[in-house]
Amino acid sequence: MTTHKVGRDITVLGDSLPVPGMGFLTVNAFVLHAREPVVVDTGLGLPDRDFLTRLGSVMDPVDVRWIWLTHPDRDHTGGLFDLLEAAPDARVITTYIGAGIMSTERPLPTSRVFLLNPGQSLDVGDRTLYAFRPPLFDNPATVGFYDDRSRTCFSSDCFGGPMPTSELADSGDAGALDPDELEGAQLLWATVDSPWVHIVDRDGFLAGLRPLREMDPETVLSVHLPPAVGITGRMLDTLGKAPAADPFVGPDQEALERMLAGFEPARPRGGAPAA
C-alpha cells in the first residue's frame, strides 16, 4: 500500500491485488483536499486493510465532508461505514440506483445520502465538481467527476489496466509503463470490466468519448490504474479501439485445475503428500 500526492490538492491512497494470469491490479482511493474535503471511494474491505487509519495519515477523518462513491462495488466500499462513523458531517454522493444496490447488503442512512446524477455538479467550497458517466463502466450506478480547479478527471474503473509488476501497480505514474504495454493492459481491462463494449455501435461509442476529449483533463485518476498525467489523448485513442479488441475469455475449470496443479506439493512414491 502506498500514499502519494498528485499536484497540490490530491492524495492517492494506493493499493493493489495480484490477479493470476493478468498481473497486478491497482485499487486506488483518493482524497481531494478541497475547502470541503472529498474522499473518493474507500478501498478494499479485506481483513488486513484499515482504510480509516490510512486516511488518518493524510487528514483527520472527522473533517471529511463528502464521500464520492463512484459505484458500490466491493472494491470501492471497504472503509465506507467506518468512515461514516468517524466523519459525522460527511454525506455519501451516489445515485438512486447506487443507494438501492447498497440497500441489498447494508443500507446507507438516508440522512447521509446525497443523490447526484451525470450532468449535474456540486460546489465544494473552492471548486465545482462536474459529474459524468464514464465511457466504460461495469456498474449502472457509476458516476465519475471532473475537478475544474486541478483539471483532474476521476474516472472510476474506466482507463484501468493490470500492471505487470506490483511495483508498477503501486507507483504514482501510469506513464512509466511502455506505451504499447499500457495500451494492451487497458484494452484487456476494457474487455474484462465492460464486455458489452463489443456489441455497441462503434460510431456511437466513439462519439461518447468526445466529451472527455473536450474536457481535456491534465490528469486522469482511475481506481484501477496508477495516476496518469499528460497522456489523456493517448488513453482515449486506446479506448476507441476497445469495441474491436479480442473479447476476454477467462479460464475454465480444466485450466483452473492445471494452474492449481502447479502449486501442489511434490508427492513421494506411494502417493502420500511430502512432509
**In the 8-state DSSP scheme, what is residue 152?**
E
Residue-wise pLDDT for 199-216, tens only, equals 999 999 999 999 999 999
The per-residue pLDDT string of the chain (275 residues; one tens digit each, 9 = 90 and over) reads 889 999 999 999 999 999 988 999 999 999 999 999 999 999 998 998 999 999 999 999 999 999 999 999 999 999 999 999 999 999 999 999 999 999 998 999 999 999 999 999 999 999 999 999 999 999 999 999 999 999 999 999 999 999 999 999 998 899 999 999 999 999 999 999 999 999 999 999 999 999 999 999 999 999 999 999 999 999 999 999 999 999 999 999 998 888 888 765 544 445 444 44
> Among residues 143, 161, 151, which one has the least CA distance to residue 28?
161
3-state helix, strand, coil in the chain (%, to 5): 35, 20, 45
CB 143 within 8 A of CB 116: yes
| Contact assessment for residue 195 and residue 246, using Cβ atoms and an 8 Å cutoff | no
pLDDT at 258: 86
pLDDT of residue 273: 44
C-alpha cell at 244: 474491436
Predicted TM-score of the model (pTM)? 0.92
Over the range 222-249, which residues count as b (16 or more CB within 10 Å of their CB) and which as e?
bbbbbbbbebbeebbebbeebbebeeee
Helix axis angle, 232-240 to 202-215, nearest 10°: 170
Residue-range domain boundaries for the chain = 2-248
- How far is it between the farthest Cα atoms of the chain? 73
How far apart are alpha carbons 142 and 75 in whole angstroms? 13
Task: Give me the pLDDT at residue 260, please.
Answer: 80
Q: Rounded to the nearest 5°, which phi and psi values hold at 140?
A: -65, -15
pLDDT at 33: 98
Q: How far is 99 from 107, CA to CA, in rounded Å?
A: 7
Q: Residue 73 is inside which H or E element, if any? A: none
Phi (first) and psi of residue 73, to 5 degrees? -80, 160
Give the residue from 157, 146, 150, 156 showing the smallest Cα distance to 213.
Answer: 146
Q: Which three cell numbers stand for residue 85?
A: 462513523
Q: Would you call 184 helix, strand, or coil by DSSP?
A: helix
Sign, CA torsion 110/133/199/240? negative
Q: What is the CATH architecture assignment of 2-248? A: 4-Layer Sandwich (3.60)
Note the pLDDT of residue 21: 83
Task: Quote the CA–CA distance of 257 and 187 in Å, as a whole number.
Answer: 27
pLDDT at 20: 85
The C-alpha atoms of residue 13 and residue 15 are separated, in whole angstroms, by: 7
- What residue has cell string 474507500? 42
d(C-alpha 101, C-alpha 105), whole Å: 8
Q: Are 123 and 32 in contact (CB under 8 A)?
A: no
